[in-house]
Structure 1
């Protein structure tokens, strides 16, 4: 009887690990188009349509990834519906001013999604190579959050502050978000004189350092357990 219970527990643990592995892979595939394809596209209406499609992919796929908790799924669904409507409506010239509001709802949704994935990343037990894949997906997600935050601040204060550069476009902001996380800033936004940009950049640097430390700790732990098992 106890042996049967133990086998069921092991099987459940294996299934859960496999779900985590697939979810991280899906997250990576979800974030790559925005970070890799969008920055090299031309601007104008074509770029805006592409951006809308990428955002829609993130929202719909991310909503599916939020399953499991009824309350979390309900909050995410509300944010997704509002954001999708505002982002698509903003394609019309008369409603372009609604895009920042849609991106703000997207930002809130991504923050909730990152919290879920950080919790999964902390508890999951993956091999080193899959751990690196999961970390890459999380770096892209958190970097996107930082990039969109910088872009929204730039949009909010555009032309309202004398002597401060607040004209960051989205491709540049996405690059800055990744750079802040992985290299403590690239010398661009982090050096701005606008206080709100410096605050977001500083918080991003702290998050990046802590996440890198967490990744190193998990890799070292995995290698230690492997060596102990082999010996």
Structure 2
């Protein structure tokens, strides 16, 4: 079940993460023009990079195969005002987009639903960087939440069947840890990423490095 963010109904809220994603990622892309692609991680996400060496770096990656991260939200008869407003903004952006963005998005989603995705982890290859920037421009000053905007971008850039969905499919993803769980108990070096891993101090950092060293023994040189 997808819940509305606690700040979603606040008209005065400034969404810092959205501000970064929407306003600054294209500038980062432009600054590092020689990069093959760009991997975005939010706080508390640990990347087991050694498991991504064989992933297709020419394709988009996002957590579309992770049930609690990528959720389809129906708009018809939806009683959550926040989702209805976000859906209206998505429709506005898609409707004003060039035909190639419109057709890709509508083939996947139509107009009666949207995707809510935490966007904790995603990858944009070089060939889609310009498209990402164009979509940022189309959003403009709309108050579109990043958890709605990022999946909309991905669905407008390409069909999900063309994503390398398997790259991140094995991610350990928990919205909340149970009382008897810690990052040590959920971590596995065999997954591409683990969330959430909250490092609060030096002791936690050392624990994380030791856990990750099961996948990359050279990390032990850090501790």
* TM-score for both structures, normalised by structure 1: 0.27
TM-score, with length taken from structure 2:
0.28
Determine which structure has more spread, i.e. the larger CA radius of gyration.
1
**Which protein has the bigger strand share?**
2
Structure number with the bigger relative contact order (C-alpha 8 A, sep ≥ 6) is: 2
